[in-house]
Chains A and B, each alone.
Chain A
Amino acid sequence: MEFSEFDIELVKRAREGSQEAFEELIRRHSRYMFGIAYGLLNTTEDAEEIVQDAFLKAYRNLQSLRDDKLFFSWLCRITLNMSRNRYNWNKIRGKGQNVSINEGVSADNENKGEMELLSDLAQPDKELEKKEIEKFILQAMESLPEIFREPLVLRHIKDLSYKEIADILNLNIDTVKTRISRGRAILASKIKNKI
């Protein structure tokens, strides 16, 4: 995780009341938070709103942060929780897709999808346009159950280690490992179907 000494110093200064320091933290981390929110919600407006609210919440509650080094994971947790709430709200209002945790593909299908996708992606003549694939991936991610989507987004948005993801999501490392692989398998299967 790229949370440097400089970031820690910024957090310290922000806690002492420096708004400039907090603004610098915003500049350095807001895009990643946006990526997390977007990865979970798949709408720009919602994600922007979530990031703004998450930073404001962090700003108001900065004094309650136990350790300056934990700022990033704390901010991630705030963003995740807000995104979850918004996702559920959207689901109630019928905006989002309601996907069961058990939905997706069976283990056999997963493996089949994985194998087919991997071979498809490996063949240059069947390669789709990059943008097309990205579009499919984002759509497929939106339909992923939360439990798979969250660790996957955290892993891919900032290359967080399994341990860091486990800390943020309050899970053990093995669960994170399983969920990431399951998420990827489901994604591979869905992308394959789209293609």
Chain B
Amino acid sequence: MKEKEKFEKCPDFEVLSAFSDSEIDKESVEYQHIQACPICQKRLDGLKKLNFAISSSLIDVIQGKDIEEKVIKALNYEKKRESFNIENYLQFFLRIAAVFAIFALVIFYFSKLLIKKEENFSSITSKVSSENETKKDSTQTKQKNIQISSKIHDTSITSPLNGFNINDVKSTGTGTEMDFHKVLFDDNKTGSAFIKPVVKHNWIWNEENKQMPIVKQIIEKYGEIQNISENTFYINITKENLVKLVRKIKNFGFKLLSDEEPMPETTIFAGNPDEVVQYCATFICKQ
């Protein structure tokens, strides 16, 4: 009965619209009705004309449009812009590379400069060595050296032990930081050192030798000692005297533990001989 009613009643506009778009099942009652009903057919004709008018109005808009070429142009422009961006990135990286290259060149230049100074230092060392050789054979040179050494306030300090004897201090420069100065000893040993503003030495001593008070007396001759602890002494001392003092302590039979410059073998050092440095000596009792 319902099916019959449905068949007799004209479907609404939504069904007719779907019918015009071929979106109605051909087996359905609505489809059968529209096919058979003259009223629906008339409505459908009108709807088809409307549909045609809508489609043709839209199709007419797109006909004759050269939109394709415009879009392709836009695409090519985009590609070009992308490649331009890559160029920008390349330029950016090139700039960074250039900065690094300049930086590397500057480092290279300064390292070369440093190497050159070290070479100068070595050549002066060898020169001093040759002078030592000459000194051996020449009494006059020795006398001259003794005259120069008289300027140094501690030339009177001569070690009673181990044959230690400072003969001379010879300046090879004007006293600026990068000049080199030589301390001459009788044994003609050579060596070199850069002396830092603060020097710390650890020495080993043998309690049985009872040398500790003597060492303290020797150090006291270079300035006022400040005791940090029982076996650690602190003193302000010139670079030149420091070289001598270290040598003296060594000749007392103490053994230097640290590698801190100046080593007892040092006879040459850089910088102003009168420049005061801080020297801290710790004497460790040998167990």
Contacts and interface: CB of A to CB of B under 8 A. Distances in A.
B54 A34 contact: no
B53 interface: yes
B23 A161 contact: yes
Contact of A51 (B16, B61, B71, B78): B71
A47 to B, nearest CB: 8
Contact of A119 (B46, B51, B56): B46
Contacts of B55: 156-157
B46 A118 contact: yes
A121 B50 contact: yes
10 contacts: A30-B71, A31-B62, A34-B61, A34-B65, A59-B75, A119-B42, A122-B49, A135-B57, A181-B14, A181-B18
B45 interface: yes
Nearest to B23: A162
A177 interface: yes
A152 interface: yes
A175 to B, nearest CB: 11
Contacts of A27: 68, 72
Contact of A180 (B17, B45, B58, B74): B17
A137 B57 contact: yes
B43 interface: yes
A114 B13 contact: yes
B62 A34 contact: yes
A117 B46 contact: yes
Contacts of A52: 70-71, 74
A48 interface: yes
Interface string B79-107: 10000000000000000000000000000
Interface of A: 19, 22-23, 26-27, 30-32, 34-35, 38-39, 48, 51-52, 55-56, 59, 110-111, 114-115, 117-119, 121-122, 130, 133-135, 137-138, 141, 152-153, 155-157, 161-162, 177-178, 180-182, 184-185, 187-188, 191
Contact of B46 (A32, A35, A122, A138): A122
A44 B50 CA distance: 23
Contact of A111 (B13, B51, B60, B65): B13
A58 to B, nearest CB: 10
A153 B67 contact: no
A56 B78 CA distance: 8
A115 B40 CA distance: 11
Contacts of A181: 13-14, 16-18
Interface in B8-64: 13-14, 16-18, 21, 23, 42-43, 45-47, 49-51, 53-62
Given A26-B72, A26-B75, 19 more contacts: A23-B72, A30-B67, A30-B68, A31-B67, A34-B61, A34-B67, A35-B59, A51-B70, A52-B70, A52-B71, A55-B74, A118-B45, A121-B50, A138-B58, A138-B61, A141-B57, A181-B18, A182-B14, A187-B54
Contacts of A26: 68, 71-72, 75
A190 to B, nearest CB: 11
Contacts of B60: 134
Contact of B65 (A31, A110, A133, A177): A31
A157 B58 CA distance: 6
Nearest to A161: B23
A185 B58 contact: no
Contact of B43 (A56, A118, A182, A191): A118
B62 A122 contact: no
Given A38-B58, A156-B55, A56 B23 contact: no
B73 to A, nearest CB: 9
Contacts of A110: 13
Contacts of A137: 53-54, 57
Nearest to B42: A122
A19 B53 contact: no
A34 B23 CA distance: 26
